[in-house]
């Protein structure tokens, strides 16, 4: 989803580490040193979604290895039972390589899905992960990643995120998302 300039001007933007993004409206926000996460739960339907944007870290210099490394760091088998590391869809734009992939998993015996997006370039990488048990949250997830402000320029890439900046340690390595 590509946000038009008027939509971007009306959207409330927030900054974490090297990225400025559009947060999902009305979701619970939690900020840690290594990530900012958002959670929403619809008690009436039993649906939920959690989204995390992670602090930049140094890239290995190989986008495929970066994706595999972030998948292993963020997608814990004890939490995401049955998830399988996908072969990510990859594209390159403006010196950045964007890898995105998803998997289904079981949460409390029910079907759920997760999406991991890793953007690598210029010696750094940044990741975003979303997990949900309903497609009804996909628009908010896409909107959060649709337009990122970095270094005084609006950078857009459809349903993906492009980041700019120098790498740094994430912190404790956990994903900062509350589990339901």
Provide the token pair at 50: 């959690």
pLDDT at 130: 93
For residue 141, what are the CA distances in angstroms to 59, 123, 134, 170, 173? 24, 26, 12, 22, 22
pLDDT, averaged across the chain: 76
Domain extent listing, the chain: 5-156
Please check the confidence at residue 174 and state whether its pLDDT lies above 70.
Answer: no
pLDDT at 145: 67
Any idea which fold 5-156 has?
A: Protein Transport Mog1p; Chain A (3.40.1000)
Residue with token string 């409206």: 25
Segment 48-92, tens digit of pLDDT? 999 999 998 999 999 999 999 999 999 987 788 888 989 899 988
pTM score: 0.76
pLDDT at 13: 83
């Amino acid at each position: 989803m590509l946000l038009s300039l008027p939509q971007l001007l009306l959207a409330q933007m927030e900054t974490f580490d090297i990225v400025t993004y559009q947060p999902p409206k009305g979701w619970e926000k939690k900020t840690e040193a290594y990530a900012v996460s958002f959670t929403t739960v619809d008690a009436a339907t039993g649906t939920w979604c959690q989204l995390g944007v992670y602090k930049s870290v140094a890239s290995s210099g190989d986008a495929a290895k970066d994706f595999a490394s972030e998948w292993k760091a963020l997608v814990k088998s004890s939490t995401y039972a049955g998830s399988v590391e996908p072969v990510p869809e990859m594209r390159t734009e403006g010196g950045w390589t964007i890898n995105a992939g998803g998997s289904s998993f079981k949460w409390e015996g029910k079907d759920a899905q997760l999406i991991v997006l890793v953007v690598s370039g210029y010696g750094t990488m940044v990741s975003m992960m979303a997990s949900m048990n309903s497609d009804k949250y996909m628009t908010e997830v896409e909107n959060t990643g649709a337009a990122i402000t970095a270094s005084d320029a609006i950078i857009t890439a459809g349903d993906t995120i492009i980041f700019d900046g120098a790498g740094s340690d994430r912190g404790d390595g956990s994903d900062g998302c509350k589990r339901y």
